[in-house]
Amino acid sequence: MKKLILKNAEIYKEEEILYNGDLLIEEGKISKLGRNISEINAEVIDLKGKKIVPGFIDIHIHGGVGYDTMDATYEALSNISVHLAKHGVTSFCPTTMTMDIPDILRALENVKETMKKGVEGAEVLGAYVEGPFISKEHKGAQDEKYVLDPDKELFDQFYEVAGGNIKVIILAPEKDPSGDFIKHVTKKGVRVSLGHTSASYEEMKRGVDYGATIAVHTYNGMKGFHHREPGALGEVFLDDRIYGELICDFIHSHPAAVKLLVKIKGVDKIILISDAMAACGLGDGEYSLGGQKVYVKNGEARLENGTLAGSTLTLDKALQNMTNLGISLFDAVKMVSTNASKAIGIYDKKGSIAVGKDADIVVLDSDLSVYMTIVGGKIVYSKE
């Protein structure tokens, strides 16, 4: 692999911004940061003051450009990966839905096989299993007839078929009062995300005590806050052990609610996700999610009964939305990259601009649009 030098950029390191900085990529890794870097036989790209930030990591995404994780085909995940790269995503977790078990197993096996083969765009990190161990009361766009109680043997089947490539699984914690399921899952290195839940504050907290570390799309699919029953949301607000996912499209949550979450949780404990479905990148029309019809109008994806059904959000837009609320780019980058890498245990390789880490890099123009996306040292998207 050819050496690559990115010159004259604003480089967003985790602790500081390096102005007029250079970055050297060798063998798919960041090998040097500084100024006036030169190397023999290296390709040089002068970025003329553009911004270098760590590649975005979308841990919760169903699909895009007409494809869905549940299609269970290489073509689907490969096309999603190329679409994501155009929006600054360098790695992602294809997300399953609450469907018939054979459908979930096919999707998980496809994640495993696709990871072996590799894709052209954003790297596949492993699956995010959304359902079936959720509550019917807060099922959202998941199909109620496939909802199940937590089942350790079924999880083991998921895990085996996926070749161990499951990063996160969702659970409604009130369905696991003993914590046996959470403990079983986390022993295998899989993160438990609490959501699609009717849990009380106490039940949600108990789930975190047992080892859960993420909250599914905060505000959505959970019991809201009340001053006499703080609910699942109250626990997300208060507990620093748990990361809060957030769909920052200003459809799933009002801008004031987003600002409130940032004020309470802080920028180090929020993970921006897209929760995007097949319509993302295509526009309004009729689509499918988890075997159910979804109607997209003005960018809002809803079931026939009006329930929100995923989003058409991209993470570059989520980043821009955050900065439009007055959040600095420096802090917003943590929410779109660093925090996700820490939450799913890949921070040693990804999530920040540092020597020795994977060269998963996004170059942003002054308006924060994506100029270039680099995955493992390879340019997979360029505006020019």
Active site members: 275
Beta strands 51-54 and 361-364, pairing class: antiparallel
Tokens of 266: 């802080």
Residue 145 is encoded by which pair of tokens? 């007839």
Whether 87 and 64 have beta carbons less than 8 Å apart is answered as no
Angle at 371 between CA 365 and CA 374, to 5 degrees: 130
Which tokens is 314 given?
């991209």
- Using DSSP's 3-state secondary structure scheme, residue 263 falls into helix
CB-based contact 195:221 (threshold 8 Å): yes
DSSP state letters, 174-203: GG-TT-HHHHHHHHTT-EEEE-SB---HHH
DSSP lists the bridge partners of residue 301 as 296
In three-state secondary structure terms, 293 is strand
d(CA 135, CA 320): 33
Distances (CA, A) of 190 to 110, 185, 321, 354: 18, 6, 30, 26
Residue labelled with tokens 């696709």: 114
| Residue 41, token pair as written in the block | 């036989």
Residue from 261, 236, 266 nearest 250 by CA: 261
